[in-house]
Amino acid sequence: MSAPQKITYREALREALRAALAADPRVFLMGEDVGRYGGCYAVSKGLLAEFGEARIRDTPLSESAFTGAGIGAALGGLRPIVEIMTVNFSLLALDQILNNAATLRHMSGGQVSVPLVIRMATGAGRQLAAQHSHSLEGWYAHIPGIKVVAPATVTDARHMLAAALADPDPVIVFEHVMLYNAEGELEPVDAVPLTGAAVRRPGNDLTLITYGGSLPKVLTAAEQLAADGIEAEVVDLRCLRPLDDATIMASAGKTRRAVIVDEGWRSGSFAAEISARIVEQAFYDLDAPPARVCSAEVPIPYAKHLEDAALPQVTDIVAAARGVLGRG
């Protein structure tokens, strides 16, 4: 195993794609601008030259057809990776994702499975306004039949794709747009499982639960709390479906306080699901009601100050943490 190296999240994903394409001739990448352009977030840059047009396939602007074609190709024995530019555009493919990818196995009485990986960018923070900034991974996590993951670190970004490709069922990988440039240490591991949350920071005073693009903010908040003598345990969910109840309850049961940070809107949010589960399963261990830090109930605005105000911020997380500790 090599020593830890620093790479960007984008490079980690590219490495993951390259390794997957090299390892298995059934793997191919398809999506809008993944080839000549190099990927709209430059994740697939260079892969066309390396693997050729058959395996790095530029598609027309036809989200529903190329996502459905990915499902068909998976049925036909390939291991497609479909890239959808952002979660906002995935709504045009929702029929295929929900009515076919997630459903075919059950509806056929277990005769077929759909080993498909769909990657999509999610989240706000780049002043791209409402139609490019939403976080809908909680909606997808609502759907039985698919798995939903959100790697937050370079190590997870590097390895979860391989696990997703090895999985016989459809997996959606959410990549937060603010993470692509983030640098981190690539830990010397061989594999990261698709299931199971990770404790990113140990602590005894409260649990901060998050995933994906909010993890860096939550870790910063935990640092600030530590400076005040509050030790927050940080749980990174990593996988939104299936959800790792055991890690969540072990942590919330230990610290007796939980704050959930989610870039989705508060009403009907994924954070609401986590909160409900904690109340259902760990109520008698709690010293305070679980708190949520979510996005404001507006389409994400363009103007920087408004966008910032709409999103969960470090100060909001710190304030919520102090709130559940009775130290607001």
Partner 1 sequence: MALPDQDTALALLRQMLRIRRFEDRCAQLYSAGKIRGFLHLYNGEEAIAAGIIPLLDAKDAILATYREHGHALARGVDMGAVMAEMYGKQEGCSRGRGGSMHLFDAGTRFYGGNAIVAGALPLAVGLALADKLQNRAHVSVCFFGEGAAAEGEFHESLNLAALWQLPVLFVCENNLYAMGTALVRSEAETDIHLKARSYGLHSAAVDGMDLLAVREAATVAIGHVRAGNGPYLLECHTYRFRAHSMFDSQLYRDKAEVAQWQARDPIDLYERELLNLGLIEAGSRAALEAEVEAEVEAAVAFAEAGTWEPVEQLTRDVYTQPAA
How near is the Cβ of 168 to partner 1 at its closest, in Å?
A: 4
Tokens matching residue 30: 């398809």
* Separation between Cα atoms, residue 228 and residue 222, nearest integer Å: 10
Q: Which residue has the tokens 């994906």?
A: 212
DSSP states along 41-99: TSTTTTHHHHH-TTTEEE--S-HHHHHHHHHHHHHTT-EEEEEEEEHHHHGGGHIIIII
Catalytic residue among 11, 132, 159, 307: 132
DSSP states along 179-191: GTT-EEEE---S-
Bridge-based pairing of strands 117-122 and 171-176 is: parallel
Binder of partner 1 out of 147, 159, 176, 200 (CB under 8 A): 147
End-to-end CA distance of the chain: 46
* CB of 145 or CB of 301, closer to partner 1: 145
* CB of 102 or CB of 261, closer to partner 1: 102
Q: Which stretch binds partner 1 (CB under 8 A): 83-91, 166-174, 208-216, 291-299?
A: 166-174
How near is the Cβ of 95 to partner 1 at its closest, in Å?
A: 6
66 sits near partner 1 (criterion: CB under 8 A)? yes
Q: Which stretch binds partner 1 (CB under 8 A): 65-73, 153-161, 209-217, 260-268?
A: 65-73
132 is catalytic: yes
**Dihedral of alpha carbons 159, 222, 317, 282, sign:** positive
Which residue type occupies 34?
V
* CB of 187 or CB of 245, closer to partner 1: 245
Residue 205 in contact with residue 255, Cβ under 8 Å?
yes
Which residue type occupies 217?
K
187 is catalytic: no
- Give, as ranges, the residues between 248 and 267 that touch partner 1 (CB under 8 A): none
Binder of partner 1 out of 15, 42, 113, 199 (CB under 8 A): 113
Binder of partner 1 out of 36, 144, 267, 284 (CB under 8 A): 144
How near is the Cβ of 104 to partner 1 at its closest, in Å?
A: 7
> What contacts 144, CB < 8 A, 6 or more positions away?
102, 241
- Give, as ranges, the residues between 190 and 209 that touch partner 1 (CB under 8 A): 195-196
Residues lying near partner 1 in the complex (CB under 8 A): 28, 54, 59-60, 62, 64-78, 80, 95-96, 99-100, 104-113, 144-145, 147, 167-169, 195-196, 242
